[in-house]
Structure 1
Amino acid sequence: MGNAFLLQGGDCAESFKEFHANNIRDTFRILLQMGAVLMFGGQMPVIKVGRMAGQFAKPRSEAFEEKDGVKLPSYRGDNVNGDAFDEKSRIPDPHRMIRAYCQSAATLNLLRAFATGGYAAMQRVTQWNLDFTERSEQGDRYRELASRVDEALGFMAAAGLTVDHPLMTTTDFWTSHECLLLPYEQSLTRLDSTSGRYYDCSAHFLWAGERTRQLDGAHVEFLRGVANPLGIKGSHPGGVHLEMTGQNVTECIGGSRTVTFDDLGSRYHTHCDPRLNASQSLELAFIIAERLRKRRISSQQPLITGL
């Protein structure tokens, strides 16, 4: 498993229309809840990384899309063009990059306030998880794990690690997005005067997508020159990467609060690929935590050999 578990999640593509403090808060909150469950199940640090504050551009397999005989350039994300199917919206507009930057900066500032201002307190996160198990149709399955986390917090408090300790009230949270729109990434690349290395300051963590990871391509060449942590498909994941939201959308079927095919049209709001909603995301975290715990326990059992 390594020394930590990576939890990465967020919108398939951020949008200008859905930019709201509540949306940012809800996604941050569900990642906190998932992180607490996974940390207890795996008994190792969980690195929480949001697909936030920069995940606007989207790769496209086709340069054009056609509807009812009308052919227009494909929607490539809000920092390139609009998603409405009309000629004006699909014209690339460089000013969209400036708007994306301003929205990303505001998102990052809000995330920083949430992470360090007490909202991320472990006791609060644990109570959220306990509340989830009470409302879930499969609550009995997850309640034991959530209660164990609560008991562990009680033990730490008795040992002197009280609720006002910084370790219990703050958290580390990182941002990420696909390195796709190179003019945007290049404009935010800076030289660190202390180390002499270049960093892309648009995010903490960047990844090369399936369509842009050619060894002789411009994206790999750009990423070769920056010192950010990088992701690429085909390597050992060491965690889980989800397209998800903290909102109560109906874009993926299944879950304990069953979303059916008939439900999909009621709250299908994504601008790109479908996302897990808050309940589905947290339920998945409980399932993964169960597997991590079983794996950890089995690996710790003494090896019994015959004579």
Structure 2
Amino acid sequence: MYTAASPTAAILPGRRSESLVWRRDDWRRLPIRQQPSWPDTAALDAVRNRLATLPPLTSVADVRRLEVSLAKAASGRAFLLQAGDCAEPMDASGAAAVRGKNRLIGAMAEAISDRTGLPTVTVGRIGGQFAKPRSRPTETVDGRELVAFRGEMVNDPRADERLRTPDPSRLLGAYRASKAVLNELYIIAHETAVRRLPDAWPAPFTTGHVDEAGLVRSWDGSLRSILGDYGETRRSPSGGWAHTGLWTSHEALILDYEEPLVRRDPQTGEWFLLSTHMPWIGDRTRRLGEAHVAFHAGIANPVGCKIGPSTTPDEVVGLCEALNPTRKPGRLTLISRMGADAVHDRLPGLVRAVRAAEHPVVWVCDPMHGNTERLPDGRKTRRVARIAAEIRGFFEVLRDVGERPGGLHLEVADGDSAECVGEGGPMSAEEIGDGYRTLCDPRLNEKQSIMIADLTGRLLARGGDGGSEQPVPAADEAVWTRP
């Protein structure tokens, strides 16, 4: 899979032999899943060439800073909260919604930290979550078979044959939309720094500022240089915890978009994917020897990998070896998405296998994707009680095996959306009405998100059981009671 390359090729991180190198386009020679059938390959090539000339969206300094925070989560000194839209919109509403998402995820993180006394690392499904894998290449809408909607990076959600045709120009739209989101995150970070130390930041993006220790920090274009503790909750002067900002993440699915945004660090020779801070591999594309794993193996970012109920112990250890051969803490996050009914059966063997192989991963629970139901009208929903049940099961499995839960991965929406059934939202599928606004899969609304964050904080603080008075709820039971 890895062959000798030009002098500009970087050594694959963790590989000991200089004869084994990684190239950005290695994935093109491997089997690949979940890619659009682009009808105009010449237009696609032109877009890829254009993307390769555009500035990176994120910085190497920030990517490295996030990996340090994730290393803390791997060792139990922090907790990861990764949350946001199932699929982001690429129009102006996406950037406009950044403040609401930042506020909600920040409130969730503060709730977890208040319960645990640990910093919470905050990563948004934001600034690039524009593509989605699909179970079928087509779907039936109003009796017509159309190309499946694969996210606004690829095609349009409207039921129109022409608009559903994959359009390479949308990749440039994804870049512009991501840039707008990142710009908003920079503004929010600066505003946070001004509130904390108003005399140190007289104007946006000055050449430097003085931090709490009296040290001058230089502005190098990174979020980290605005706030040294960016992306983690921190102790506030009032005694509680304060949110500092969001790192970005997305499923790096469409490799024709990702490859041109891989850039080399001139100081170390490492390759970084600078379309985001933390990319992840989906459960549908995590096969060893295939394109997505090979692509992520060569970048120096911290990487996530979804693992579902079909994953075997040998496969998960193989993924650890491929994606983090040097066993670097913070490099690899394994995101379990088993479903409430399968988590006790399928997860223990995977955790034991990784533990036996001595891989320092961040174990994260995604309680959303294994608990999706289809409504009679074709829309999807999720039951809050089943989401809570999978979280409890995840904590119980990790506790029993002797590992510490490292994080939570959720799909959430700020405001009063009505997409998930149960406490804090519509109590039955029949009550789902105009509040169903997702582009793809159902998200927890604001009240449900805070409830789930509080439940998670209690579970983490009490060693995984949330208190003996808290039974695992059935699918139609209330899930949240104050201790």
Using structure 2 for the length normalisation, give the TM-score: 0.50
- Which segment drifts farther, 234-243 or 185-194? 234-243
- Which segment drifts farther, 27-36 or 229-238? 229-238
- Which segment drifts farther, 99-108 or 39-48? 39-48
C-alpha distance after superposition, 1:121-158 (max 9, x if no partner): 79xxxxxxxxxxxxxxxxxxxxxxxxxxxx984358xx
* Structure whose residues are more often helix by fraction: 1
Check whether the contact 2:192–2:244 (CA below 8 A) recurs between aligned residues: no
1:50-69 matches, cutoff 5 A: 50-69=124-143
C-alpha distance after superposition, 1:251-278 (max 9, x if no partner): 0112245544233122101111000011
Q: 1:284 to 1:53 in 2, by over 3 A?
A: same
Check whether the contact 2:115–2:461 (CA below 8 A) recurs between aligned residues: yes
- Which segment drifts farther, 268-277 or 60-69? 60-69
Check whether the contact 2:88–2:94 (CA below 8 A) recurs between aligned residues: no
Check whether the contact 2:94–2:177 (CA below 8 A) recurs between aligned residues: no
Q: 1:67 to 1:227 in 2, by over 3 A?
A: same
Indicate the residue corresponding to 1:248 in structure 2. 416
Indicate the residue corresponding to 2:285 in structure 1. 212
Q: Relative contact order (alpha carbons < 8 A, sep ≥ 6): 1 or 2 greater?
A: 1
Indicate the residue corresponding to 2:450 in structure 1. 282
Indicate the residue corresponding to 1:43 in structure 2. 117
C-alpha distance after superposition, 1:33-76 (max 9, x if no partner): 11111112121121100000000011011111124542221111
Q: Which amino acid aligns with 1:196?
A: G
Q: Which amino acid aligns with 1:273?
A: D
C-alpha distance after superposition, 1:199-226 (max 9, x if no partner): 0001100110011111111111111110
How far 1:287 sits from its partner (Å)?
Answer: 1.5
Does 2:107 match 1:33? yes
Q: Which amino acid aligns with 1:214?
A: R
Check whether the contact 1:9–1:50 (CA below 8 A) recurs between aligned residues: yes
Which whole-Å CA distance do the structure 2 matches of 1:28 and 1:155 have between them? 21
Match for residue 154 of structure 1 among 238, 247, 250:
238
Check whether the contact 2:133–2:150 (CA below 8 A) recurs between aligned residues: yes
Match for residue 106 of structure 1 among 180, 185, 189:
180
Which whole-Å CA distance do the structure 2 matches of 1:209 and 1:63 have between them? 17
How far 1:172 sits from its partner (Å)?
Answer: 4.4
Which whole-Å CA distance do the structure 2 matches of 1:259 and 1:98 have between them? 41
Match for residue 93 of structure 2 among 9, 14, 19:
19
Indicate the residue corresponding to 1:291 in structure 2. 459
Check whether the contact 1:255–1:280 (CA below 8 A) recurs between aligned residues: yes
Indicate the residue corresponding to 2:382 in structure 1. none
Check whether the contact 2:425–2:445 (CA below 8 A) recurs between aligned residues: no
Q: Which amino acid aligns with 1:280?
A: Q
Equivalent residues, number: 259
Indicate the residue corresponding to 2:30 in structure 1. none
**Runs of 4 or more off by more than 3 Å in structure 1?**
119-122, 151-156, 256-260
How far 1:19 sits from its partner (Å)?
Answer: 2.1
Which whole-Å CA distance do the structure 1 matches of 2:239 and 2:441 have between them? 43
Check whether the contact 1:62–1:74 (CA below 8 A) recurs between aligned residues: yes
Check whether the contact 1:19–1:103 (CA below 8 A) recurs between aligned residues: no
- Which segment drifts farther, 270-279 or 20-29? 20-29
Does 2:76 match 1:2? yes
Check whether the contact 1:51–1:177 (CA below 8 A) recurs between aligned residues: yes
Q: CA RMSD in A?
A: 2.6
- Could you tell me the percent identity over the aligned residues? 40
Q: 1:84 to 1:121 in 2, by over 3 A?
A: same
Check whether the contact 1:176–1:205 (CA below 8 A) recurs between aligned residues: yes
- Which segment drifts farther, 254-263 or 93-102? 254-263
- Gap regions ≥5 residues in structure 1: 123-150, 157-166, 299-307
Q: 1:46 to 1:64 in 2, by over 3 A?
A: same
Check whether the contact 2:271–2:300 (CA below 8 A) recurs between aligned residues: yes
Q: 1:53 to 1:71 in 2, by over 3 A?
A: same
Q: Which amino acid aligns with 1:213?
A: R
Which whole-Å CA distance do the structure 1 matches of 2:87 and 2:272 have between them? 23
Q: 1:246 to 1:71 in 2, by over 3 A?
A: same
Which whole-Å CA distance do the structure 2 matches of 1:23 and 1:33 have between them? 16
Check whether the contact 1:114–1:120 (CA below 8 A) recurs between aligned residues: no
- Gap regions ≥5 residues in structure 2: 1-74, 197-234, 308-333, 335-362, 365-405, 467-483
